[in-house]
């Protein structure tokens, strides 16, 4: 992938947003990641092996959120444990402040930074989530968020649950890849380009580009249940974390405020559809999401006051997506079981979800 910012980034933000907020400048995301892969063959020294690795994924971060969704949909909970840092962090690293004693119970780390330094003592880039850590060495394997979920879908198949969906079907991979590249730059990262624009001119340019992209998605979702047709794919896994954060965060905090997502019929009903689909809504923690953005981004919100709204309960209202042909899980697929007890989102942080389907 083309590097957007070749200079080393300070270890801040979920993907080093601080430091890119420069007066007059466009937001450039550092796209240099540890590109090691965990594969069936283990050619790079990292074979797929149940119990060997730990996914570190903060619920607050949209890039990490997609790995939590993929892990749930594919049923990898028993094969791949998860550690969840809290929603805030300092200049050094994400911390395991939600765990007893502030220490990850498997890795023994207080900070994710320790896993990076265990492998690269002088690691110069951002300490980002998601990251996959090798439990025996307690060292990071990869933080390549673009590749991690693709490997979950294609390399971890021996550990998929019975009835797991094919999130990356071979016949659609080229189209999924093209759509995902477009969404990354225009939507997933597009909201950051708007929010961290360093001048009025840059802001207006990125604002226009973002809403043109959202209008295209609104039109696309007027033709099919999901982005690629009647079944959920990797493309939906990547879009949902951005959409679910749009009205609570990006609309106001990032000034992406032409209109709310709730005012766009297809995008809003699509979001409600996925929110009430097992594996999507049951990974959403609105309290952590808002705490992260409004507290950590002091340059955008110096008071660190976290808003109480919007009310998330309309996400549970009926949607209209059943008007389209639907094979949500594929011809022989089934919905995932309920989340592991230790991974259930605090009910006070999000509305109760509709389960099953």
What ranges make up the beta strands (E) of 194-266? none
Catalytic residue among 168, 192, 203, 226: 192
- Residue 177 DSSP SS3: helix
d(CA 184, CA 234): 13
CB-side exposure of 195: number of CA atoms within 13 Å?
23
d(CA 220, CA 247): 20
Preceding peptide of 140 cis, ω within 30°? no
Tell me which residue of 334, 336, 217 sits closest to 270, measured CA to CA: 217
Active site annotation includes 192: yes
Tell me which residue of 249, 186, 189 sits closest to 217, measured CA to CA: 186
Decide if 159 contacts 219 (C-beta within 8 A): no
d(CA 42, CA 168): 20
94 is in an annotated binding site: yes
Tokens encoding 164: 């797991």
Decide if 113 contacts 29 (C-beta within 8 A): no
Tell me which residue of 13, 101, 66, 115 sits closest to 279, measured CA to CA: 66
Catalytic residue among 33, 61, 116, 203: 61
Instruction: Give the annotated binding-site residues for glutathione.
Output: 94
Instruction: Provide the annotated active-site residues.
Output: 61, 192
Annotated binding-site ranges? 94
């Amino acid at each position: 992938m083309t590097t957007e910012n070749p200079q080393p980034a300070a270890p801040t933000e979920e993907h080093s947003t601080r430091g890119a907020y420069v007066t007059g400048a466009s937001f450039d995301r550092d796209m240099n990641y540890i590109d090691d892969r965990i594969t069936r063959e283990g050619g790079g020294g990292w074979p797929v092996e149940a119990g060997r690795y730990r996914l570190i994924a903060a619920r607050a971060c949209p890039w990490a959120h997609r790995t939590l969704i993929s892990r749930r949909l594919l049923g990898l909970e028993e094969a791949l444990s998860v550690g969840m840092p809290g929603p805030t962090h300092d200049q050094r690293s994400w911390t395991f402040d939600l765990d007893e004693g502030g220490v990850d119970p498997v890795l023994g780390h207080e900070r994710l930074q320790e896993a990076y330094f265990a492998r690269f003592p002088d690691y110069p880039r951002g300490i980002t989530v998601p990251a996959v850590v090798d439990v025996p060495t307690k060292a990071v394997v990869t933080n390549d968020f673009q590749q991690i979920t693709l490997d979950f879908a294609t390399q971890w198949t021996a550990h998929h649950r019975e009835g797991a969906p094919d999130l990356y079907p071979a016949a659609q991979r080229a189209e999924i890849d093209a759509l995902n590249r477009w969404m990354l730059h225009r939507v997933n990262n597009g909201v950051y380009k708007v929010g961290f624009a360093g001048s009025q001119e840059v802001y207006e340019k990125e604002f226009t580009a973002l809403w043109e992209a959202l209008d295209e998605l609104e039109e696309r979702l007027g033709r099919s249940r999901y982005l690629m047709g009647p079944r959920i794919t990797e493309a939906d896994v990547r879009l949902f974390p951005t959409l679910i954060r749009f009205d609570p965060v990006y609309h106001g905090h990032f000034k992406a405020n032409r209109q709310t997502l709730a005012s766009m019929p297809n995008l809003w009903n699509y979001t409600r559809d996925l929110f009430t689909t097992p594996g999507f809504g049951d990974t959403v923690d609105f309290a952590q999401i808002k705490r992260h953005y409004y507290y950590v981004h002091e340059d955008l919100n110096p008071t660190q006051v976290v808003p109480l709204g919007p009310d998330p309960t309309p996400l549970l209202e009926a949607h209209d997506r059943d008007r389209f042909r639907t094979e949500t899980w594929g011809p022989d697929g089934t919905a995932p079981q309920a989340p592991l007890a230790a991974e259930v989102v605090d009910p006070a942080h999000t509305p109760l979800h509709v389960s099953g389907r």
